[in-house]
Structure 1
């Protein structure tokens, strides 16, 4: 039996497609004058609570109000790490290098390029089950899908058509309260395959630290390990590794690390610098130092995708799901924004009720999802991500 949508629902979808809101990625230069600085976010939060009296029923305030939402889905933020860049194609460079050590250095550089400024206190939308985000930038095609809602689990698949590169990750979080800060540990596999080189790189994910004292802010922390079994090479990057005095001065973006041989432990390169400025690599044999990453060139002036083909934008695409809410947030129309957010949430609850009533289980459209205890694994159902209806730059 064909499940036809009501005519008014189809008309509303078409009208939404004509006015799709796609916001610009948060770039390096946006931080200085951002309205979302820690001070402004805290001030906004207090303004929301100023009329709340002691003893007031806060049940309607349990969900994050639109005033504290970024006008983008978490899936968009994941995708931007891969498809949004202002400089050269660092992903493709991973395969173009001729020697194994140069390829690992390029993988390190590309990993660092995925680190972006974090907007403290402003939360993206929690993706709904089945929501997707599909964007292309030249030869790079990226597809994200929310494969679980409780707990929230996101899967990403990216491919590079020209260089025959495949990247997958599955991501889910474990937040831990540490007193003066919250440590958010990102779990799940990240695997990069350089298919032309027959090399596979496995890598960890950094932690996100949301600090309240002595000053409010957010930064990346922890350790990232990158390992290639085929070449016997590995890298280790320690995030936020500056001295205590440096951290008090606000330097939460330093990186110190190394590249070494896995079997012998022989160190080949020292890695050091700041991911929001430059990262250097020092050759341990020659003492030569080179700049391997320049943040200003790669995460400045970032552009949003444009809608290349409106008819191919699916109903569950992030910008379709959240379009009305994003539009109202950008207009500071908070009453209608709350209504729009409530409508998305009610639609998700209704879908869950229907599945429970019919005894159906949710099946991911783009990934084979396997849960083993608390661990999740997601394998793409397609070997290559197709070109998307949302593009940064088109192929020529």
Structure 2
């Protein structure tokens, strides 16, 4: 199965089982098809025996609570599943401020509507996900399991953009809520301008009481040392009282000079609608980000080259599980999910028994002095993928 060399016929059978599902977009229709009538009660029952403060990184959800896709796919979809290409726009700016504002807009575009009561599969060690969208090629790998660390590398054919993304989500149970702190850094590199933008991520907050909800929250910082510009974005719920009411999809912030602290523009809006930028000097307001053009009516990727799909590909590893979930065959989905997870545990035991250390295939993995994980691609560019987003 996963991470083992297979014969040609076995590999062909595995890739034939690839199941691709619709990306999360403004409508979130995928989960609506699976949502049971008593979802809130079922979610609350999951945490009945979980102690506050517990790390949920390896909490195993029943298949009935899973989206039919891996967390690797969700990370990738934030990059390759878009309507308007905000990433490519970053390399077209005529000056440093325009490029920086475009990077801020792209960062917001990776924010997708979360869905209460559903979570993706926890990727297994060595799992990969490889997709191309036009001239952009995206490759992900689960480079660590304990702790869970995912790495992403994306490059374009024009040699203008490189994206390196390292993610280490740490979900914790707080009694009436679950908060997933997303550690790691995104690096957007505009190669023609020798500019590197460092971007962190908002946290995911799941409220169980008093009113069930799931939302992005916290502060995102974006820094470009070459242009000496910074941005601060705050994701928040407006006009809430005791956790009730309000609008959970607000974002506000500013772009400013790292050297002087001078504010260049103010940012305000809703990440699932319109985000505007107001020039601090002239007062002119422009649209920085339009969610309708970016993340509405997104296209589902398709397999272009069946033979090129790796047995470690997410849509193959979890193919049977996803197929069963989509058909609401819960017994088969649970059995298939258990097989994937049991295989991963068995391979881990075998490595431990042999004294072997897992080495990622596409990335090198390290920790800095503060304990944060860093991932470096082993190859300069990402090759075209066997899975594509239709044009």
Matched ranges for 1:68-79 at <5 A: 68-79=65-76
The CA distance in 1 between the partners of 2:30 and 2:132, in whole Å, is: 29
How has the CA–CA distance of structure 1 residues 363 and 32 changed in structure 2, closer, same or farther, with 3 Å as cutoff? closer
How has the CA–CA distance of structure 1 residues 91 and 247 changed in structure 2, closer, same or farther, with 3 Å as cutoff? farther
Higher relative contact order (CA 8 A, sep 6+): 2
- Name the structure 1 match of 2:269: 273
Check the 8 A contact 1:366/1:380 in 2, yes or no.
yes
What is the number of equivalent residue pairs in this alignment? 377
Of 372, 375, 378 in structure 1, the residue corresponding to residue 372 of structure 2 is 375
Matched ranges for 1:106-125 at <5 A: 106-125=102-121
The CA distance in 1 between the partners of 2:88 and 2:180, in whole Å, is: 30
The Cα shift of 1:48 comes to: 9.7
How has the CA–CA distance of structure 1 residues 321 and 390 changed in structure 2, closer, same or farther, with 3 Å as cutoff? same
How has the CA–CA distance of structure 1 residues 287 and 241 changed in structure 2, closer, same or farther, with 3 Å as cutoff? farther
Deviation readout 1:142-192 (Å, 9 max, x if unpaired): 111001111111111111222521111111123344443222111112211
Check the 8 A contact 2:236/2:249 in 1, yes or no.
yes
Larger radius of gyration: 1
Structure 1 position 159 matched with structure 2 position 155: yes
Deviation readout 1:120-146 (Å, 9 max, x if unpaired): 121211111000000010111111100
Of 16, 19, 22 in structure 2, the residue corresponding to residue 18 of structure 1 is 16
Corresponding residue SS for 2:168: strand
- Name the structure 2 match of 1:289: 285
Check the 8 A contact 2:300/2:390 in 1, yes or no.
no
Structure 2 gaps of 5+ residues are: 48-58
The Cα shift of 1:336 comes to: 1.5
- Name the structure 2 match of 1:64: 61
Corresponding residue SS for 2:226: coil
- Name the structure 1 match of 2:250: 254
What TM-score comes out, normalization by structure 2 length? 0.90
- Name the structure 2 match of 1:27: 25
The Cα shift of 1:34 comes to: 1.9
C-alpha RMSD over aligned residues: 2.5
Deviation readout 1:76-126 (Å, 9 max, x if unpaired): 00000000002x211111011111100011000000000000011212111
- Name the structure 2 match of 1:393: 390
Matched ranges for 1:75-154 at <5 A: 75-86=72-83, 88-154=84-150
The CA distance in 1 between the partners of 2:81 and 2:31, in whole Å, is: 21
